[in-house]
Every structure is written in C-alpha cells, then in structure tokens.
Structure 1
Amino acid sequence: MRAVRGDATRTRAVLALGAGALLVATGCTTGVRYEMAAVPRPQSRVDRLTDNAEVALAERRGTAAVRYAEQAVALAPTDARYRALLGHAYLHAGRFASAAEAAADALRLDPRERRAALDLALAQTALGDWTAARATLTTYAQILSPADRGLALALAGDPLGGAVLIGQEARGPTASATARQNLALALALAGHWQDAQAVAAVDLSPELVEQRMQQWRRFVQPVTSSQQVATLLGITPVRDPGQPAALALVMPALQAFAEAAEPVTPAAPVETASVMLTAGASAVKFAPRREIVQPIAPRALAAVATPRAVVAASGRYYVQLGAHQSATIARVAWDTAQRRHKALAALTPSAAKVQVGGSSLYRLSVGGFAQAQAATLCRQLQAEGGSCFVRTHAGDAVASWAGGGTQLAAR
C-alpha cells in the first residue's frame, strides 16, 4: 500500500506508530497469500484453517490465529508455509520464543520462506539476542527486501546500518511514504534526531512531525528488549508456554531413520535445550561472548546497591553486556543500555576487540568491581530485562568513544 503525499488520512493510517510503525509491506510482514490452483477445487480442511488464521491476523486476533495455525501444522507438519504462518501467528500473539522456534522450523523446511526469515529476526530481537537476529538477517539477505531488512537491523542494534539499507528504497524514484518514515525511525534509533525530523517532514505536516518525534522518543527508550518489537507490531507480550510438543518438527529423513533404528536407553537422563519460557525463571545462562536473554516474569526484588558506591581499588571483575560486530554497534548498544538501566548511568563503558572464528568482535562491559558487586549489578540488569554475565578482567580498557562518567578499572 502506498501513501500519497497530501492525503493526510491515508498517511496517518500507514505511518501511525500507535498502530505499529510497520515494516514496509513487501509480503513479509503482512498476510502472505500463497498461489492458488488455476482450476477451482473444494477447500480442504487445512485450506480453511489457514484462511481462518490469516483473517484472524488481519483482525489482530493473535490468539485465534495461533489456534488455527497450530491445527494446520498438525495436519501438514512438513509444509513450510504452514510453519511460517504459525510463527507469524505466535509473533502477533506476543509469544516470541514460540515464534522463533516455528519460524526456524519453517526455514529448515524451506530456506526461501521470506516471512519466516523476517519473523525469526524480530523474535530473536524481542528475546534480546541481537547477535542472532543480525546473523539471521545476513543469512537471508537475498530473500528480504532492503527496507524490511533495514528496519529489522535497526531494531537489532545497528540503526545506522539499517538506515543505509532502508535508504535504498526511501531515496529511489518509486519511494513510498512508509519507506521514508521507516528511514526516519532508523535515524531516530541511531540518535540522529535532526536528520530523522527532516526525513519525516517530507510527508507530514509540522504538527504531525512533532507528534511523531515525541512518539519516537518514547519508542527508543524501552524498558525491555521485547517492548520495542511489541510496540512496533502493536501487540502485548505474554507468558509463553512454548509450542506444543506434538508440533515438534521431525524431518522426514530423520523420522525414517529413527523408525528403523532399534531403541536405545541412555545410561543417564540427558537434559535437552528448549526455547520454552518457564514461569518464575530467575536466571539466564549465556554462551561465551554471545548476548542472549529471555523475558523474565516480573517479580519483587530486594533493594540493591548501585555500582556508584563501588570503590574500585582492587576490583578485577567485569559485567559483560554484549559482544558486537563493530565499535559503532557497541556504542549504540551502550547508549541504549544506559537509557534502559539507571544503574549504568554514572558508569563508563569498557571495550575489548577480540577474534572469534576469524571475525572481530567488540566486547562491551563495565568493570572494576569486587565479585559480589559485579554479581549484584548483573542480577539487577537481568531483572530489568537486560543481558549480561560476570567475568574477570580480560584486556578491557575504556572505550575510545566513551564520554565522562565514573571509571572503574582493574588494577
């Protein structure tokens, strides 16, 4: 859908952040209709279920869409289209972990599923796993439009990189108002407010531009990682019980092998990984040098001391906040973290460039704490929806782009 300059009513409908400053409609973020047979035929049960799911999505009834999509997947478990629809339904029902699982399953069945690729990146961003989201957007770059990929990239911690991609469409001869507003939003996420205002003003009156800037100032300061994606999509995150076990993907070749093999009883119980969120989770485990966090149910917390009172005469412990692909992304991540967490307001970030698998990563941390103080800070950040883990000093130094603040350094 294209908004025509001067048509204020239509422009508001397309661009209003309250209804979701949606990604450019290329078939990835809106209902995707699949090819119909040339010869009319009676609708099968799975056809009716998928149609019902698409209608429910269009009417913003995410829970109903999930119910229909789950039934469709149960009838055709190896059809990538239905898995992609299920992931889209979970996403719009505010169930981000299940959305990531279903979208990943769809891509295993068919890596050309555009809607699944975009939904996977958005779900990973909502779960706080920016590194995985950016990797997903890179892996499926060829099947995603630059505008869709750009705004998703901006949400995943690289707003300047996202603005470059969106600009490919926003500055072209067929540029739409939606693309220009998405470009403005990416610039706002990067902190380039004057540029964002100038781009937004191309399609909006001065009064609407000011309203948009106020909306975006609230948008760029979310409390949790999931809040920004939820606001974008116009949904409410909910506690996710996980995808039904009966819908777990079993690839046909693996299933045939499993049926032919003799059953084996393990010597001891083996714990398996799961993306299901459990109520009352109190901690998150992190892989080395990878930013991962899942939404934690709100709970009462005892008052904790902030790191401003820490004396760093001999502290050698650091709280790592993430590992990023460039210093620019690390700086944006720090600015975002400071806005979200008051405990970081008076601290100075440290950075260390490391080589992992032939690629350079910039570790972002704050440090110079005693072990107990570092652990307290990390727990506080996690309780507020942040991502972190505690480690000892490992080449950390004050980030070259850091401004003033209280520097705590190991000695």
Structure 2
Amino acid sequence: MKRTAFAKAAVSSLILATTMVGCAGSAFRPSAAAPQHRQDRDSLAAATEKALASRDGAKAVKAAEAAVSADPRNAAYRQLLGRAYVASGRFASAETALTDAMTLGNHDARTIVSLALVKAALGKNEAARELLSANADVVPAGDYGLAMAMAGDAEEGVRILSEAIHDPSATAQTRQNLAYAYALAGRWKDARMMAGFDLEPLAANQRISQWAQSAAPVYTAQRIALFMGVSIDGADAGQPVALALAPRQDAVDVAASDAAAPSPEIAVASADTTDAPAVDETLPDVAAATPVPAPAFAAPKPVVRSAALAPAPKPRAAAATRPIRQAGPVSNWVVQLGAYDNAAIAKEKWFALARRNTAIAARPALTSQIKVNGATFSRLAVSGFGDRAEAVALCRSIRAQRGQCFVRENAPDATAQRWALTAKRQQLASR
C-alpha cells in the first residue's frame, strides 16, 4: 500500500481522534508553556517540551534522557521521555519509558492511552487491551473506545463508543470516532452512515475510502504511527541500559530478606490465594504457560500399616464447589479467561480451568461472541463481582498461577451458562 494513501487515512484518523489527542492522548502534543524552573533537570524538561513543539524528536530524546539521568525516579520525566521516544518513532524505547512512568505512579489517562497504542504498534494487542481494561475507570469513554478499536478489539470499541455518543457531552468527534471503530470492525455500512451525520455525502464517501485502504490488521503499526504523526524507527535498539529503572532501596532490602527465607518446598504454604504475589497490571503481557495448581498445605508423611490391618478405603464423593453468593448488587465487571473458535471449546476450557481453580468454578460463567478480522470467536468470562476491585483480585490470583486473564466490562449480548462441576463417586475395582 502506498504511503500517500496511508497519510490521507492518518489525517482523517487524527481529525476524528482529536478527543483522544486533546484529552488522553496529548502525550503526542506538548503543552503550550514550558516549565520555568531554576534546576538544571527542569531546564532539560523545558528543552524537551520545546523540541517536541518543534517536532525535533532527536533533540527531544537527548534532553529527556538527560533529565531522567539527573532524576531517575521522577515519573513526570519518565513520561516526558516516553513522549520524546514516540516523537522519534522509537516505540520499543517508548514502551519501556512509559511503563517506568506508570511504575513510578503516573497513572493518568494520557500515559495509559499512549502506552496502549505503543504496545499495539509493537504487535502486543492483547497487552494493550488488558492495560486499557485495567484502567477503564481512568480513561475517558471516547478515548477508551477508540484505543480499544485500534488495539484490535473493534467490537468492544464500537460498544463503548455507541454508548458514549448518547452522552450530553458527545461531539461530532465522538461520532466520527465511532465511525472509525465501525470501519476497523469491517462494518462499512454502519461506518458510512455514522460518518454521514457530520459530513457531506461526498466527504463521507472519501473518508470511508481512505479508511478502507488502511483498515487491514497488517497495517496496524503503520496506522498507529501515522495517527501519532511519526515514522517508525526500525533501528530502535531500546532505551539505554544506563536509564533502566532501579528498584527502591526498601524493595531491595525486602528482596534480600526474602532470599533468606525457607524454600517454598520446605515451608508450609498458605492456601489463601489473597497471599499470592500481586501482578503489576501495568505490565499485563503474561507469557502463556500451563496453569500451576494453587498453593496447598504440605502433604503429611504417609503412615505405613500392615496389609492385614489396613481397612478398605470407603468411596468418597468429590466435593462440589459451592457457588459464591454476592451479598450486594452485582457489577458489570467480568474476568475474561480466553477467546476460542466456538462455544463448545469455550465450555471445554471452562471445565478444565474450573477443575484447577475453585475460584473460577464458584463464579457464574458467561460467553459472548466477538468478530475479529471476519472470524467469530466465543469469549469466556466469569462474573458475579461486587465491583471492579473484586474482579481484579481474582485476575491477579489467576495470573499468579501463570494463567491468563484480564478485566473488562460485560458485553450486552453475553449469555449466562449453567455449567457446574458435579461430584463424581470413585469406583472400586471388583475383586
């Protein structure tokens, strides 16, 4: 595909996405006034802002790297460095810098959306969506929906933006964001109709034609780069090692004390999943692995008995998991466990996961359909949470066992399933 066609599409996308750029996505546009401070590091930050305003990415990176070097644990400088890397098309470096900014406490919508789009441009769509879902209460709905669509979940973007356009604060930009989400979802008729609300018929047709040239998933990185107004630097070797975020000294002390603790294989492990190590939700790119059983009490040593005195074991029924009864109102938050080719596979996966994790078995199961690149998938999730924090807690415990999940809002077409693990009696062999 020719770059000129991409450029035309990018201009349209940038126009319709001014809600994102102006509100949450202003990481790609510097503030009007540079900070005026006496400290050298703040002067460097001001120089970075000035370079960004002049679209001089290389100069911005040089100044921002110096500012971070002078004050490594300053979240604002780390976020500024991420912006400078984005301006230079260095997405791998930008991902590191923006992640470091969030680790240091910067959780504003600008940083979240910037990092999500960078991850999507690097081919980490699932990680981008998980990041957005984990911060859905921070990112404005219009920005969240468009970012979700650009990160590969166009149907979710359509769902969010379809609700956002009915808000009294909705503007023509919100409607055009929805039109673009429709286009990314392959719903061209809906995209044309929505674009026509604010554009003349000829202009709407031209915009749809431009979007069609860059809507294919293979163009995701180029589409996002042009949306940001930059060119991808394929030679980006990553952020300099000297700028790596070092752990705090108190964290180092804790790690040292943990190293002196007894081995988990020797110590008695707690069965309470709330003691499982928390997973940093700003780093949701979890490697796929076979789920590990939840920690349990150390097994007692076997007692050796005489065969003549040993009583025959009585058949015992396996304990069926009791469903959790939510005391208060149930929220709209769910924990998605996966997306599969069809509902039958989703059901099979639920039983496999539920047998390994009683917390999953105790929650109501939901399935919903989603279309991605023309293919339909069956999403599997569990619900019944009082609020988002409760859903996040379960997802953390699943990830702590090397499982995969992320928190999102429930789909309107979700179907509740009446699946349950039944108690099976053990059969004794005939003698």
CA distance in 2, matches of 1:192, 1:48: 49
Q: Name the counterpart of 1:245.
A: 241
Q: Name the counterpart of 1:205.
A: 200
Choose from 69, 74, 77 the match for 2:72: 77
Match for 1:104: what amino acid? T
Per-residue deviation at 1:121? 0.8
Choose from 94, 109, 117 the match for 1:122: 117
Tell whether 2:162 aligns with 1:167. yes
Give the secondary-structure state (helix, strand or coil) at the position aligned to 2:93: helix
Match for 1:165: what amino acid? I
Choose from 167, 172, 175 the match for 1:177: 172
Match for 1:112: what amino acid? H
Task: State whether residues 100 and 123 of structure 1, in contact with CA within 8 Å, keep that contact through their aligned partners in structure 2.
Answer: yes
- Relative to structure 1, the CA distance from residue 249 to residue 155 in structure 2 (aligned partners, 3 Å threshold; closer, same or farther) is same
CA distance in 1, matches of 2:212, 2:368: 20
Equivalence map 1:252-271=2 (5 Å) = 252-253=248-249, 257=253
Q: Which runs of 4+ in 1 moved over 4 A?
A: 18-21, 32-37, 258-261, 325-331, 349-356, 358-361
Match for 1:44: what amino acid? Q
Q: Name the counterpart of 1:142.
A: 137
146-155 vs 248-257, greater mean Cα deviation:
248-257
- Relative to structure 1, the CA distance from residue 42 to residue 247 in structure 2 (aligned partners, 3 Å threshold; closer, same or farther) is closer
Q: Deviations over 1:319-360 (max 9, x none)?
A: xxxx64897998643438xxxxxxxxxxxx998979994989
Equivalence map 1:356-371=2 (5 Å) = 357=398
252-261 vs 160-169, greater mean Cα deviation:
252-261
- Relative to structure 1, the CA distance from residue 208 to residue 58 in structure 2 (aligned partners, 3 Å threshold; closer, same or farther) is farther
Aligned-residue sequence identity (percent) comes to 34
Task: State whether residues 20 and 231 of structure 1, in contact with CA within 8 Å, keep that contact through their aligned partners in structure 2.
Answer: no
Task: State whether residues 84 and 102 of structure 1, in contact with CA within 8 Å, keep that contact through their aligned partners in structure 2.
Answer: yes
- Relative to structure 1, the CA distance from residue 260 to residue 194 in structure 2 (aligned partners, 3 Å threshold; closer, same or farther) is closer
Give the secondary-structure state (helix, strand or coil) at the position aligned to 2:218: coil
CA distance in 2, matches of 1:43, 1:326: 60
Q: Size of the alignment, in residue pairs? A: 281
CA distance in 2, matches of 1:104, 1:208: 39
Task: State whether residues 150 and 220 of structure 2, in contact with CA within 8 Å, keep that contact through their aligned partners in structure 1.
Answer: no
- Relative to structure 1, the CA distance from residue 243 to residue 36 in structure 2 (aligned partners, 3 Å threshold; closer, same or farther) is closer
- For structure 2, the 5+ residue unaligned runs are 1-7, 258-285, 291-337, 343-366, 383-394, 406-431
- Relative to structure 1, the CA distance from residue 180 to residue 350 in structure 2 (aligned partners, 3 Å threshold; closer, same or farther) is closer
Q: Which has the larger radius of gyration?
A: 2
CA distance in 1, matches of 2:178, 2:288: 33
Q: Name the counterpart of 1:28.
A: 24
Q: Deviations over 1:131-159 (max 9, x none)?
A: 11111001122221111111111112211
Equivalence map 1:202-351=2 (5 Å) = 202-239=197-234, 240-253=236-249, 257=253, 287-288=288-289, 324=339, 332-335=371-374
Per-residue deviation at 1:166? 2.5
CA distance in 2, matches of 1:260, 1:286: 26
- Relative to structure 1, the CA distance from residue 182 to residue 62 in structure 2 (aligned partners, 3 Å threshold; closer, same or farther) is farther
TM-score normalised over the length of structure 2:
0.56
- Relative to structure 1, the CA distance from residue 55 to residue 352 in structure 2 (aligned partners, 3 Å threshold; closer, same or farther) is closer
Give the secondary-structure state (helix, strand or coil) at the position aligned to 2:374: helix
Per-residue deviation at 1:238? 1.0
Q: Name the counterpart of 2:127.
A: 132
Tell whether 2:84 aligns with 1:89. yes
- Relative to structure 1, the CA distance from residue 326 to residue 201 in structure 2 (aligned partners, 3 Å threshold; closer, same or farther) is farther
Task: State whether residues 120 and 221 of structure 2, in contact with CA within 8 Å, keep that contact through their aligned partners in structure 1.
Answer: yes
Task: State whether residues 179 and 190 of structure 2, in contact with CA within 8 Å, keep that contact through their aligned partners in structure 1.
Answer: yes
Match for 2:42: what amino acid? D
Per-residue deviation at 1:126? 0.9
TM-score normalised over the length of structure 1:
0.58
Match for 2:239: what amino acid? Q
- Relative to structure 1, the CA distance from residue 350 to residue 89 in structure 2 (aligned partners, 3 Å threshold; closer, same or farther) is same
- Relative to structure 1, the CA distance from residue 353 to residue 247 in structure 2 (aligned partners, 3 Å threshold; closer, same or farther) is same
Per-residue deviation at 1:255? 7.3
Give the secondary-structure state (helix, strand or coil) at the position aligned to 2:372: helix
CA distance in 2, matches of 1:163, 1:259: 44
Equivalence map 1:38-53=2 (5 Å) = 42-53=37-48
Per-residue deviation at 1:89? 1.9
Per-residue deviation at 1:23? 4.9
Task: State whether residues 341 and 378 of structure 2, in contact with CA within 8 Å, keep that contact through their aligned partners in structure 1.
Answer: no
- Relative to structure 1, the CA distance from residue 86 to residue 140 in structure 2 (aligned partners, 3 Å threshold; closer, same or farther) is same
- Relative to structure 1, the CA distance from residue 155 to residue 36 in structure 2 (aligned partners, 3 Å threshold; closer, same or farther) is closer
Give the secondary-structure state (helix, strand or coil) at the position aligned to 1:236: coil
Give the secondary-structure state (helix, strand or coil) at the position aligned to 1:219: coil
Task: State whether residues 219 and 231 of structure 1, in contact with CA within 8 Å, keep that contact through their aligned partners in structure 2.
Answer: no
Choose from 48, 53, 76 the match for 1:58: 53
Per-residue deviation at 1:65? 2.1
Task: State whether residues 222 and 228 of structure 1, in contact with CA within 8 Å, keep that contact through their aligned partners in structure 2.
Answer: no
